[in-house]
Every structure is written in structure tokens, then in C-alpha cells.
Structure 1
Amino acid sequence: MKIGIFFGGPSREREISFAGGRTVYDNLDKGLFQAVPIFVDSRGNFILLDWHYIYKGTIRDFFPPVSTLPPSEHRLQVYLESLGELSQEEQDRIIAEVGRRVQPQELRELMDFAFLALHGPGGEDGAIQGLLEWYGIPYSGSGILPSAFGIDKIAQKKLLHALNRPTPAFRVISTEEWDAADPEATLDYLVRELGLPLVFKAPRQGSSIGVSILREKNAPQFVAAVERSLFRKTLTRAEWQGKSDEQKILWLQQLTDIREGIGLPVTLEVKFEQLEVRGENLPPTNDQIIYHPEKLLYTLNEQFERAEQVLLTNIDGESQVLVESFVAGREFSCIVVEDPNGEPLALPPTEIVKGEEMFDYRSKYLPGLSRKITPIDLPEDKIQEIREACQEMFRTFGFQVYARLDGFIQASDGSLFLNDPNTTSGMLPASFFFHQAAEIGLNPSQFLTYLIRTSLAARRRAGMQPVRLGGILARLDAAVASRQRQEQQRTKVAVIMGGYSSERHISVESGRNIYEKLSSSVKYEPIPVFLTGSAQEHKLYVLPINVMLKDNADDIREKIEYAEAGHELHPVLAKIRREAEAITGTYAGQPTAQPRRISFEGLAEMVDEVFIALHGRPGEDGALQKELEQFGLPYNGSGVESSSITINKFETNRRLREAGLRVAEHRMANRLEWQADAETFYRSLETQFHYPFIAKPADDGCSSAVKKIKNRQELEAFSQLIFRDQEDLLPEAARTLHLGFKEEFPQKDAFLVETLISRDGAQHFLEVTGGLLTHWRPDGSLNIEVFEASEALATGEVLSLEEKFLAGEGQNITPARYAPDPTERQRISEEVKKELRRVAEVLNIQGYARIDAFVRVRETGAVEVLIIEVNSLPGMTPATCIFHQTALNGYTPYDFIDRILEFGKERQRKLQVETKSK
């Protein structure tokens, strides 16, 4: 079957849709389905996307293409809508650079079925569903009417209220009412009617976009909350002129972000000072539409010469605000699916445990910021009450195939509130969608197969071409049954993930991605293995699918400890698995109930080779590699000796400098020196390094504790945190360094100090990250293939964890923009690649790696490459930029992983031959 995957779209959730579409593309069972990627741009155009763009980190990394962007002094990335009004011909030229425009009437020839990974307006509101119905194309999820109802939070509230179903009290404010009202009077009314705190929502948005909580009766905060839900922003002259040029750019990037800000295009309403000029006032307003962030910057600078205040309003903002009373209690989310008989079946509800009151976009999608506990920790009868309430809401709203229902258990009396159902759930690898399906034993590939089958049945029941769809169903059922009977000998690969460092959550993301890429292939059978313990003892556990898909490394470790304490399978999970046997009996084998401890010797008996998905220590330091070599297990990446060097940034820099390569001035700062005399310690660093400079751990990656130190106070705070004795952070020092919510800070006996690498008068200056892959030549020597580097754009002082790994957050341009002229760009690129190849040769890197560097291009054309660090086991999360780079050389992510594994096997064979010859 040809499965058209619709992803992207015009909504503010387009980045999560893009990442979810990639998950579906990767996890479709290759033995049953052929994936057809249909990218929907922000103007609603359908694009048959060239496959390599699917693995870009964000939509803005490839669309609109760099070649179509207007000149930008600040090199800002934008969405298509920021190019202004475009003719059909102009849009076609842009589309042609990434794929082929598809007219709606062509869709039926391209696909047998449409899998909808679109979110929000244009994806979940019945619009795309109606178009597909018109052309007779079966699609996933709910039909037109339940979709239209499922996106409208106000309509849902009114129905729940009319049916006397428990839901938080609410009021609605329209834009007309808001514009005419006195904010203080409106706030008084809402507090009187609903109490405090108040929750503000944009009625047609998901992913917690446009949501705020007001905890106190504060008029300015109230206005800001309403504006956030309407996607407006009021800015005063004093606020604007009080910002530096750098702060203005950062503010602009945040404002125009489609998730956290109001997005573009915007109307600009100017309110002038009421100055008397010849007896007349200046005009009170001046409306105009602004598409590009740089144009907005210049316009604000110009208008605030005279204007007192500016109101910015997104032209596609909301027309109403939903205001609810706050529910103090425990938050949960529950996926409901149709069983084979068309009846709703609630999967185990998940509790969301977070450190802040609001489960926002960042907490939802960045691993480690929230905890998901499945099932929610409540008595069995209470969990069953949640499930039954969710199943009832599924029926009441007429949902089909699947939906995600959210709610609260009130702290005061245990009463249950349901709200905000979603007819399309987020589809990232560890989202609720796959996380809860794994609890009944379905891996992502199996779950997607079931949803496609169930959607076909739902469309047929609704009257869509019953004879044709009946035939498709029969063929699919036969193919699934045949697939179950097939016995294939596949290479068993242990995918080791987790660890115990600050990089453990990203390691799990990498490991899961490797698992999913391999599990959908015909060549490999991946086995997820979690590593925990300490440097003295590595503990390995084979994970069942439901534990592997827990939200983060801490959740996985908790489940392992729970199993080791002798706890039986949760009775609710046992009950749901029995209820789901009609599904799992066809689409999955018997689910494994508990994680299982295994020795390295046992691992060698179980698998043929290993993929190490760990980052930092352990994993990249050679210790694990040494263990695997003892048992003859091939593995990915560099060998023991090279790994033990590249894990240490100080030693890496020293060796590179000795070889004539450029690195930053650096030294280690030791705990013993600090303890002996802190003042002398600080002065010594200040003498050698002028502020600002960089401080970071010498053996951690993923931007862990990398800080730009600008003064003595920050140096003291950094030293106190990294040399602290207790696990908890020191609050005052954490505030001084502006540590983010749940940002981890490792404890070390030493840290690395480096000079801050700057432009230094260069014509071009950019930060890049370049990947490489090694191959064996016929004569047994090593060939190093260096990919085109990616340009990494940091919004803050250094690249953050979010920019590296949060869907839609990081900005990477591949290939890097070394120069506007293509010939000159390529010349510089070859110079950079030559230097990166030298790094790999000096350090004896094998397999693959990622090298981070700064590049200066002088007016003379001279190219300077300054190496920052080397990662011998780089992050392999779904959107990591190494996949963008490999795609340019024709490797799909699976091809790249396959080459890495094959290299490891060949190296092991060579090692065995050498050992025998000795």
C-alpha cells in the first residue's frame, strides 16, 4: 500500500507535525507499506518532498530554501509567509527546489491511503478530511464532523456543560469585547466569577500554545495573558528603547516564534503621543502589515522616534479567548483507540509530573523536563474511572480510530475533569501516542499498522467506497497475517542507551531512534539495552518495548528498580493487556513484562553486534569498548585508544595544537587549587583569560554546563556549582548563571577554561558542525569521507540543549553559508573539510564522528578553522544535523547506520585475523 504522509501545514504546531511525520515515515512497516511524503507548506500547498529534506531539524532549515531568501543583515531564518505575497509562479519556483507541487486531484494517483500527521487548523479541523473525502481517499483518524468539533475548545466546553459533564467553569472573551472593555473591570468580573488562578487558552491551538496562568490579581499580567491567547503584543517606547541592539534581535526572534511568540505576519497599530500641532492632533493609528522580522525591526526603530506605544497583532491570530478556572490537581493524558469491533478502548492513562504549573511546549517535547508515569499512581478503581470517562467522551464527541483526552484529578475531593480532546496526538517517538501503545506490547511500527487498518474500516463504515475499501482491507489483513508467519534470520544488534551522566536523556533519544530505524528494516533485529550503574560497575538491562519508550532515562531507571524490587505487573496494565488481546494477537507478539539484567557475557551470547548510543561518559571514553572487545563483539565508532583521547577536551586540544591545528587557548581549572585558595584560583584564571571566556566540563557534551563567563561573580558561581559536594544545585549560584528550569549541572574535580573565539575582524564568521564516515579501502587502509558541515545558529550565548535537540528549535543550515557566491562557498567548504579530515587523522577516529568548529574567512580569502571539540559518538536523535549532512551524500539515515555497523564488523574481523597471526 502507498501511504501518503501529510505533515507540516499552516498551523503554529507545524514543527511538531513535521517531526511527527518523520516518525511515521521512519516507522511504517517496510514490508507492508511504501511511504509517500506530502509536505504541506504554510500556504497550504501540497509538495511531494524529496526524501532527504525529511531529516532536516526544522522546516526553516530547508523551506523556503536559502537561495530564495531576501538579503538579511542579521541572517534570520523565516517561514514562507515572511516572503510576503507571492504569485503562483514564484511559489512554484520555491517548491521546485525541494520537491514537486502536487495538485489535489493528483493525490489519489499517488496514494492508497492518507496518514494525517497534521496538527491544529488545517489539519485537525475537518478541512483536509473534507478534501480527501471529495477525492475518495481514505485517511487516518476521525472524520469531518468530529475533527471540526475536536479542535474547537469553546464548542467542547458548551457541550460538556449542556450534558452536565464535569468541566472547569469558563468564560469567553471576544476581540470586540476586549477592545471595548476596561481591563481592570474585566479582571474584576473574571475573578468574581471564576476565582484565582485563571487559565487563558487560545481556543483552536494545541501543544499548549497561547496558554497562560494568572495567579494574582494583576492588571498588566492579565493584559499580557489575554494578548498571548489572541497572539498580540503591546510594546511601549520605553521598553523598546531600553533594549540594546543585541537584545532587540533576541526579543524579535522570540516574538516572531510561532510557538512561544505571536508569529508573522503582523499588523502594526501605532499610538502616537497626543502633541498639539497647529491646533490638531497627530493621527492616533497607522495600520500596516509586516511580513519579515527584519522589516519589523526597522519599522519599530523608526516608529518609536515618535510613537508612544505599538500594538502588534498576528493576522491569523484568534478572535476569542477561553478563560477557565484553575484546577488544582494531578494532570493526566489518555489515548483512546477503537478496538477491532469499533468500540473505544482506553489505554493506560499517564500522569504528567512537572516542576512548573503549566505543561508547556518545552516541557512536552524536550526530554527530561517532565516525567510521565504510566499508569497514573492512583487506586485501581480510580484509574478505571478515568478510562471509562475517556471512553464515554470518545463516544459523546463521535471520535473515530483514536484520540488523546486530557484531564485533571482535583486535589480537594478527587473529582475528575476532562478537557481539550485532540483528534491528532503528537507523534514524536516517546509521545503519549506511542508511549501508551507500548504498554499493551505494540512497538511504533505495529501501532501504525493497526491505526491504518482501523482507519480504513472507519472510512468504510461511514460509506466511503465500501467495495473498494473492502478489497484493500482484505489484502492488508492477508499481508499482516503473512508477515506474522515469516521467519527471517536477522542480525541481532544490541542498542545500548542511557547511562548516568547529564547526557543520559539525549542518549535515550538517540538509542530509540537507532532502534526504530533498524526495527523497520529486513536486515537487523534491534534489542534495546539500558546501561546504568557507575564508572566502577556498568549494569546492563534488556528492555521491553514499553519500558524503552518511557519519557526519559530517569523513568526507565525507575521502572528497572521497580522490577528489581520484586513488584508484579500493575493490575491495571494486566487488565488492559487482556482487553487488548484482539489487537496484540494480530499485530504484536506477547509483550515482555519486566526489564531483565544481563551480563556482558550474556550479551555476547544474545547478539551479533552492538550499537553504542551513549554520549560522554560512559560510552565515548573507551571503557565500554574495552569490555565489548573482550567478548569479541563488534561495535560502532572509534576504538579504545582514540575514544579515551577524544572524551577529554583538554587532551584533544593539546594533541591538535601539537599537530599544527588551530584551537582556543585553554587550561584545566582544578578543584584542589580552588579549595586551597579560591581568590588565587580566580586571579590566576583572570590573568590568563580576559572576560568573557568559556567554562565547561572537559568530558561532557550536549551543551552540558557550557557557559560564557563574563565577570568574577559568574566565575565564582560556576566554580561553586561544578565543585559542589551535594547533588542539589546551589540556588544563588544557579540564579547568577541563569540556569534554566531543570537544567542539570554536573559535579567535577576540574573544568576546562577556553578563550572565547570571536570574529577577530574576519569578513565571515560562523559556527559549524561537520560529520564524517570512515570506509575500508581494498588495501585495508582507512578512507575518511567528510560531509558538508552545517552552520549552527545560536540565539543565546552558546548553543543550548533545546537548539540541539528540541523539535523545531535549533537552526542548522546545511550546507553552511561560507559565502554568497557558489564557487567561493565550495572553495571554503573544501578547506574546512580538509582541516576536519586532518583532525580525524591526528586522533585516529574510526567509524564516524562529529567535529565542532568556528570558521573565519578573511577578506583575503584565507580560511581559519578553529576546532572546539570532537564527538566520537555524536547524537543520533531523529533530527540531528549529521543526518542532514549524510543526505547530501545520498545516505538515508538507515543507510548511514548500516555503514557504521558494517565498518565495525569489518574492523572486528581484521582484529581477529591480526590476533591469530600473532
Structure 2
Amino acid sequence: MTNHAQAVPRPSQQVTLTIFFGGPSNERNISLDSARTLYDSVRKKLAETNITLVFISRDTQFFRLDPKWIYSNTIEDFEHLPHQPLQADALNRLIKESDVLCPIVHGAYGEDGQLSARFEAQGRQAYLGSPPAGLATTLNKQQTVAAIAERGFPTVPNALITAAAWAEDAARERERAWHQVPGDTLNQRIVKPNRAGSSDGVSLSGVDTFDEAVTRALAFGDEVLVEQRIEGREFSLIVLQDQDDSIVPLAPTGIAIAESDTDPNQDNLYTRNKKYMPGAGARHQTPLAGPAELLQRMRTQAVDLFQALGLRDWARFDGFLSDDGTIIWSDLNGIPGCGLDSFLFQQAALFGMRHADVFSLLITRAAAREGRRLDFSDALGEDPASRRRVAVIGGGATSERHVSRMSWFNVTQKLAALQQYRIHTIYLDAEEAFWEVPAFVALQHTVDEIEAVLADVDAYQRAVPLVQTWRGTHFAGYAGDVAAHNFAPRRLKLADFPARFDFVFLALHGGIGENGTMQRRLDQLGLPYNGSSSQVAGLCMDKQATNQKCREFAIPGFEAPGQHLVARNDLIVELSRYADLDAADLETLTQRLPELIAAEQRVTDPLFQRWAKAVVRWAAGLQATLQSDQGLVLKPKADGCSSGVLVSRQPEHQLPIFLLFMMAGRDRIPQYLLYPKVTDRELFIALPRFDEILVEQMLAGADPETFMEMTIGVIGTRGKITAFYPSETLAQTDVLSLDEKFNKGMGVNLTPPPALDAAAVASIRARLAAYADQLGIEGYARIDVMYRPDSDTLYLIEVNNLPGLTSATIIYTQALVTPEFALKPAEFLDELIQLGFARQA
């Protein structure tokens, strides 16, 4: 191995870094998200040309990846493109010559130590994370439990079932495991893959569902672990090592699962969807509520386990806290998830560390193992006073507030990484009050968690001195002052904005953010903002108005589906024409909705059957009127991002229950109630408050391949709008869910659509730009359409004036791969700011 040691520190701009991500496991898209956060956090600290991205395929081939694809939501977005694999000699040369190697591969091949072992075979130690042996132990859940027991700590009783033993005699293995592992109060056990993460393949099983649970777990590996279900509070704790190798646990996060009012059979497990999709039912609290002595005991035990397992640099430890204060460690993760709003950064924010600070520390540690001293002295550089002040606003009171929170935090992080502005994080609460909040508050996973902090600011502030004590002198040079980073949230008035800020970046979705209200108020204050004027924003928010404009503009090859508008309060009147129903009947049905969730109850309930009969007849009449033989589309007249949208090929099955949820004022409906092929009981459709319902012509024919759903971003000044490359969006059902649009690693988008040639793409872009120009769009927007290739016809779905800007949104990829722009996400956001300043001027 070449000796890289240097006597003097090397500036960070000279450091070469290689980031490895992907891999064969089901966590490959979580790995993509983690790698993207690392890349984005350091690309302005290092020279971007010195950062190499290496994607590892399912069959463990290595590919050098163009950085523009790191901003895809899923690996499947770019995996179909032609990529030349790195040959063995080129890969070995890259491993030998990079200053620091960053294996961000979750699950198999990364967390089992195989990739780290490959580095060590090339004589390398300057890689981020633990040695192979420590990783191999932590990925094997049964070995982890054994290691915990060796340290004298309480563990979870368990039994291992191998695929071979299960195939040989399932009854014997079921009997053995069922009696070897105690049940919970309902005589249930946890069944999970022995070597997997992100709660994939995990079930809470009774004896009657045990075989199904084992089969599900075996899909993720050849070993299944059966565990006792622990009654207690779940928690997660991040551990970091400082420059001097001291082990520093951060602040444990408590995890609670809300009871479901739409699925009485929900198992309350902390699943992947609950981990990564805000609003899916998980609630977090950092630090975990409890006496300081208890929290310190957790931290002390974590140090012991970190040492005992031979871990290094970082880890995430998960466990349970029983009612009597017993700490039970369950899963130890050698490569913690490091997505933008992960526990790692939430807990680090309490310690005064930003994303770039955490990664600067870890990279410095890795380099030091081969004698290199790196200079990240600018890692804590504060924003110069001369920079323009940008207030980024997120939150709100709409059904899209959770998506807004994701967009909001992503925008603040990307703009901060540019080091061009002074970023102020402003939260709009449910009562439409403005709060300036520190990074820790913005890093809460849901708006409910944010508002819990705002409701009890004193509790948050009481945690600050405790964290100061824990941190002591650790992380010197990589962390700021704990109290300064965790200032008390302060309430602001909109009238104060002109004196405090130079620009307002709206990361709101729906409601006053998109209907023109905020734009009008900012115009009155003379403050520039992103996106279109108040008049155009109001127009774009109205799905009926944009549909009518599409007809008026008469752009060749661009049409609008037929629509019927019904006021919410008039729906029962329309339905009463087809059956004996009145408002009292509707009230009775909405009160009995919890029991009607069960299909057998709906079939046998006379009143619901009368309701269903009326809905089916009403829908049949609209299908005839709208010439919509294949079904109907229901959507709110003024909302977006898939909130309240139902694409129904089976109106007789879907509409009665959907409309009942809507009329009952529920904020969500599980997808499995509407789409039989959806087996994940946690996927849902968000339901905003419907004042007016649009019933729309179904465009997709009997053959779903006849139509292609696409989304296209547009950008520019008024009258000079350019459309990006379109993206084909692939949905699990007939409508893209919130999860597929905004949940990391869920939705697949192909940009541009592989089935379209360059001429078709150019024509689509031209039509979308013409439509956007005539609408009067300024800055940017996203337009969703259906496209029929055989007739080369576009059909409007909706226009989004403030499209989602989460890390998973496709508009970033479009801005990167459209040749005349080639803007990375942070630079794209900066362009939106410049367009906002130009519009005001």
C-alpha cells in the first residue's frame, strides 16, 4: 500500500473520497438515501471532482455513477440505463488511491463486513466504519443477542429457524420455536429475518399465522429469528467516536406507535413505512422521557457494548425500556441509516453538530488511521453577515403538512450547503403562527412532533444543559455551542419579515401556501418569493379552472378530461335520487365507520348497502355523462400531491367506502380497502377536507399500457418557460400514493421515459411549456399528465404551483438530466431564488 502519511494537515479540497452504496439487500434504496446525504453534505467542503460515487448492483458488480443520478429516489430510476461495470483492476486501483473510502451499504455485503474486508485485502484502513468482524456480528441478530448476554445485560429470548430445517419439518420447527420463546400478553411472538434491517420481513405472529410469518421472513434470508415481544418503550441511540477514540453516545430517542383507528388488527411494529414516511403512525421523542440517571445508564451500557463488539466510528443501538427501568438491547447496527432527517442528525443537532460536521469528523477519523491529517477547519464557519437572508417556510395545516415538513427541511439543508445565504428555518403551525426554530426542531420527523416541542419549549430547553454535560469537551472543532445551536423557538409576525429577511422560500403545500394567500401577503410586504404570483397560484390550485384553461388554450395534442363538480354538502342530495337516504342516515354511517371497515360488516349492514346502492347508481350515471366506461377519478377541487385522489376502475367496490371516509372527515383511508392487490396495510391515501369534489373522466383504457402517467417540471420567467425532460411514474395501484411520490426509496420514476424517442420527448416538452406560459406560471411548477403514445396526445391531470421538494422528488433529477440546465438540487433551488428576485425586480 502507498504510504499516504503527511506531516502537515491537507486542506479538505484536496481530499479524494469514494462513496459506495447500493448492494444486494432490500435496503439498497435506503443506502442510496444515506449516500446522497453524505455526498450533499460534503460536496462543498471537498472538491466535487474528488468525490467518486460507486453503485453496487444486486449481483455485487461495481459501477462508477454519474453524480446526477445520486439524486434519484430509487436505484431502479437509473439501473435500467447502460452502465459499464468497473473491472477488477480499475476497482482495486480506486480502492488503493482514494484517501478515504465510505461504505454506505446497508444490509448484506455492507453491514456484514464483506465490503470492508475487501478494502482490508487491499491493505486499506482509511474507510469509514467498523472492521469486518464487528459488522458481521451486528448484522447477525442472534449473535448480537449472544454478545449482549455475554456482557451481563438482559436480552430477548429467541430461537433460530433455518430454511433447511423449515423445509425438512416445518411442524417440528414451529413447535420447538413456539415453546422455546415465551409469548406476550396475547401469546404472540416476533418473527423476523436473522440478517436484515429496516424492519423488512418482520411480523407479529400468533400460532395461526406463524407459518405465513416464517415464509415472509425467509424471503429476506435463509435464517429466521423468533423472539419474545417485549412490552415497553422502544428507543434508538446513536454512538459516535471522537478524534481521540473516546466513545460518545448521543441522546436516546423514544419511539411510540399510535393506535390505528382504521385497522384494529394493526400490529404496532416499527416498520419501514413508519420509520421513513412522516405521518404513518410513529412518534419520536428526543431525548427519551426519563430521569437523567436512567438516560446516563443507557449511554454507559452503550459504550460497553460498542467496545465489546469491536465497533468503530459510529453505530445505532436499538432496544426497549421496560416499565421497571430495565434496559433491553435488541438490535445493534454497524452502519446507521444517515438519511437527511435520520436519528443520527437529530441527536447530533442536540450536541451542536450539523450534517457536514458529523461527516467531517468521521472522514477525518478514517483518514487518520493511515496517518493522514485533514483540515476541516471551515466545517463550522458561520454564515457571513453580508449574505442575503432567506427564510424557508414549511408546515401548515393541510393534509400535505407532513410532505411540506420534508420539503422544508430538505430545502434548508441544500441551501445551507451552498454557503451563499443565511438560512432561517420558519415553521408555520396549525394555527398559522410563524416560528423560527433551530435545526433540532426542524429535524423532528413529523409536524406533530414539532408542535409538541413548540407546545412545551421549556422541556426542550431543560434538555440542553443535560446534553452540555454529556458532551463536555468532546467533538472540539466539529461542534458548535450546544445552547447556541438549540436556541428557544421564537414566534414571529409576518409583518416582521421585511426587517429580518431578504427572501421568503415557500416550502408549503396546499392551503394558504398554494392558493395565493401567502403570495398576496408577501407582495403587500414587498418581499420576493419563489414560484408564481398570487393570481396564478390561485389558478393552479383549482383543478377545475386549470382543466377549463387547457380547453380554452386548444394546444394541439393537449386535452383535458371531462369533469363533474359536486359540493360536499350536496352529495347526500344527489345520492338521495337513487335510494332512500338523508343526512341522518349519513350521520349514522359515519359514526359506525370503525365497524364498517371490516368487509363482512359492510356486506351485511342494511344501511351501508343502501348507501352503496345509491353511490353505485350515481357513479354509473356520471360514467355515462363523462363517457368514462373504464371507471372514474375522484379528487378535491383544490388540493394536490395525491391527497384525496381516487382512480377507480371498480367504482362499485371503491366509491362507497371512499366517499364514506371522506364524508366522515377522516384524514386518511388505507389503500387495502380500495385496492385488493395492496397487501401492505400501512399504505394510505391522505384525505383533505373536501368542500367540493371533482369527478373526472377515467383516461386509462382496458389495457393499462395504453396510457403512460408522466410528471414534468417547468422553469423560467413569465412567457419564457422551459419544460424539463418528462418522467414516467410507475405506481403500485392506479394512482401514485404519497409514499410513492415522497417516501424515500418507494416510487420509481424513469427520466426520460425509455419507450419514447427524442422527437416525442421534445414535442411533449414544447406542449407543456406552451401550456405553462399561457397559464402565466413564473419561476417553476410541476405538471402531471397522462400520455397516449399511439395518438401522441397529452391529457391534463393537475398543475402544482409549489411542487414537492423532498429529497425523493423527481424534479431534481429532471433539472439535472435536462441538458440545457444540468442543475444539481442545491443549484436548482438557488435558481428559483434568483428567479424570485428577478420577478420582483
**Structure 1: distance between partners of 2:87 and 2:779:** 35
The amino acid of 1:354's aligned partner reads I
Structure 1 partner of 2:429: 532
**Structure 1: distance between partners of 2:724 and 2:390:** 26
Structure 2 partner of 1:896: 828
**Structure 1: distance between partners of 2:378 and 2:30:** 33
Preserved contact between residue 339 and residue 580 of structure 1 (Cα < 8 Å): no
Q: Does 1:829 align with 2:732?
A: no
1:35-434 map, 5 Å: 35-65=51-81, 94-95=83-84, 103-108=90-95, 111-133=98-120, 134-136=122-124, 138-181=126-169, 183-196=170-183, 197-214=188-205, 216-218=206-208, 221-231=209-219, 317-318=221-222, 320-355=223-258, 356-369=267-280, 370-411=282-323, 413-434=324-345
**Structure 2: distance between partners of 1:811 and 1:485:** 38
Q: For residues 596 and 864 of structure 1, do their structure 2 counterparts lie closer, same or farther at Cα, with a shift above 3 Å needed?
A: same
Matched position secondary structure for 2:312: coil
The amino acid of 1:544's aligned partner reads P
**Structure 2: distance between partners of 1:420 and 1:482:** 32
Q: TM-score if structure 2 supplies the norm length?
A: 0.85
Matched position secondary structure for 2:119: helix
1:757-776 map, 5 Å: 757-759=699-701, 764-775=706-717
Corresponding residue to 1:559 among 429, 453, 476: 453
Shift of 1:763: 8.3
**Structure 2: distance between partners of 1:179 and 1:737:** 33
The amino acid of 1:490's aligned partner reads R
Q: Does 1:612 align with 2:506?
A: yes
Shift of 1:625: 0.9
Shift of 1:432: 1.2
Shift of 1:326: 1.4
Shift of 1:906: 0.9
**Structure 2: distance between partners of 1:340 and 1:128:** 24
Preserved contact between residue 656 and residue 842 of structure 1 (Cα < 8 Å): no
The amino acid of 1:367's aligned partner reads P
Q: Deviations over 1:37-73 (max 9, x none)?
A: 22222232332211111112211111132xx6xxxxx
**Structure 2: distance between partners of 1:341 and 1:388:** 18
Structure 1 partner of 2:809: 880
Q: Does 1:570 align with 2:480?
A: no
Q: Does 1:845 align with 2:832?
A: no
The amino acid of 1:16's aligned partner reads I
Extract unaligned runs of 5+ from structure 2: 1-14, 259-266, 579-614
Q: For residues 679 and 708 of structure 1, do their structure 2 counterparts lie closer, same or farther at Cα, with a shift above 3 Å needed?
A: farther
Matched position secondary structure for 2:84: helix
Shift of 1:867: 0.5
Structure 2 partner of 1:689: 623
Corresponding residue to 1:454 among 362, 365, 389: 365
Q: Deviations over 1:807-843 (max 9, x none)?
A: 2221111102444xxxxx2222222222212221221
The amino acid of 1:406's aligned partner reads D
Q: For residues 818 and 127 of structure 1, do their structure 2 counterparts lie closer, same or farther at Cα, with a shift above 3 Å needed?
A: closer
Q: For residues 840 and 32 of structure 1, do their structure 2 counterparts lie closer, same or farther at Cα, with a shift above 3 Å needed?
A: same
**Structure 2: distance between partners of 1:677 and 1:49:** 56
**Structure 2: distance between partners of 1:589 and 1:448:** 15
Q: Does 1:718 align with 2:658?
A: yes
1:430-579 map, 5 Å: 430-457=341-368, 460=369, 465=370, 469=371, 472-473=372-373, 475-476=374-375, 479-480=376-377, 484=381, 487=384, 489-534=386-431, 538-563=432-457, 566-567=458-459, 569-571=461-463, 573-579=464-470
Structure 1 partner of 2:641: 702
Shift of 1:174: 2.5
Extract unaligned runs of 5+ from structure 1: 69-93, 232-261, 263-316, 776-780, 820-824, 910-918
The amino acid of 2:792's aligned partner reads V
Q: Deviations over 1:752-795 (max 9, x none)?
A: 110111248898521111111114xxxxx732111110011112
Shift of 1:853: 0.5
**Structure 2: distance between partners of 1:418 and 1:174:** 23
Shift of 1:503: 0.7
**Structure 2: distance between partners of 1:24 and 1:666:** 46
Corresponding residue to 2:31 among 6, 17, 26: 17
1:596-635 map, 5 Å: 596-635=490-529
**Structure 2: distance between partners of 1:557 and 1:737:** 33
Structure 2 partner of 1:867: 796
Shift of 1:123: 0.9
Corresponding residue to 1:788 among 725, 729, 741: 725
Matched position secondary structure for 2:707: strand
Structure 1 partner of 2:604: none
Corresponding residue to 2:473 among 582, 586, 603: 582
**Structure 2: distance between partners of 1:852 and 1:381:** 54
Corresponding residue to 2:489 among 595, 598, 601: 595
Q: For residues 760 and 122 of structure 1, do their structure 2 counterparts lie closer, same or farther at Cα, with a shift above 3 Å needed?
A: closer
Structure 2 partner of 1:797: 734
**Structure 1: distance between partners of 2:477 and 2:23:** 34
The amino acid of 1:703's aligned partner reads S
Q: For residues 41 and 11 of structure 1, do their structure 2 counterparts lie closer, same or farther at Cα, with a shift above 3 Å needed?
A: same
Q: For residues 189 and 485 of structure 1, do their structure 2 counterparts lie closer, same or farther at Cα, with a shift above 3 Å needed?
A: closer
Q: For residues 110 and 850 of structure 1, do their structure 2 counterparts lie closer, same or farther at Cα, with a shift above 3 Å needed?
A: farther
Matched position secondary structure for 1:6: strand
Matched position secondary structure for 2:513: coil
**Structure 2: distance between partners of 1:26 and 1:154:** 35
The amino acid of 2:429's aligned partner reads T
Q: TM-score if structure 1 supplies the norm length?
A: 0.78
Q: Does 1:815 align with 2:752?
A: yes
Structure 2 partner of 1:655: 549
Q: For residues 47 and 482 of structure 1, do their structure 2 counterparts lie closer, same or farther at Cα, with a shift above 3 Å needed?
A: closer
The amino acid of 2:837's aligned partner reads K
**Structure 2: distance between partners of 1:531 and 1:21:** 30
Shift of 1:343: 2.2
**Structure 1: distance between partners of 2:493 and 2:724:** 37
Preserved contact between residue 604 and residue 633 of structure 1 (Cα < 8 Å): yes
Q: For residues 737 and 429 of structure 1, do their structure 2 counterparts lie closer, same or farther at Cα, with a shift above 3 Å needed?
A: same
Preserved contact between residue 199 and residue 272 of structure 2 (Cα < 8 Å): yes
Q: Deviations over 1:618-646 (max 9, x none)?
A: 21111111111122211111111100111
The amino acid of 2:405's aligned partner reads V
The amino acid of 1:711's aligned partner reads P
Shift of 1:140: 1.1
**Structure 1: distance between partners of 2:705 and 2:446:** 43
Q: For residues 672 and 165 of structure 1, do their structure 2 counterparts lie closer, same or farther at Cα, with a shift above 3 Å needed?
A: closer
The amino acid of 1:57's aligned partner reads N
The amino acid of 1:128's aligned partner reads L
Preserved contact between residue 441 and residue 545 of structure 1 (Cα < 8 Å): no
The amino acid of 2:638's aligned partner reads D
Matched position secondary structure for 1:680: coil
Shift of 1:16: 0.6
Preserved contact between residue 49 and residue 100 of structure 1 (Cα < 8 Å): no
Preserved contact between residue 53 and residue 64 of structure 2 (Cα < 8 Å): yes
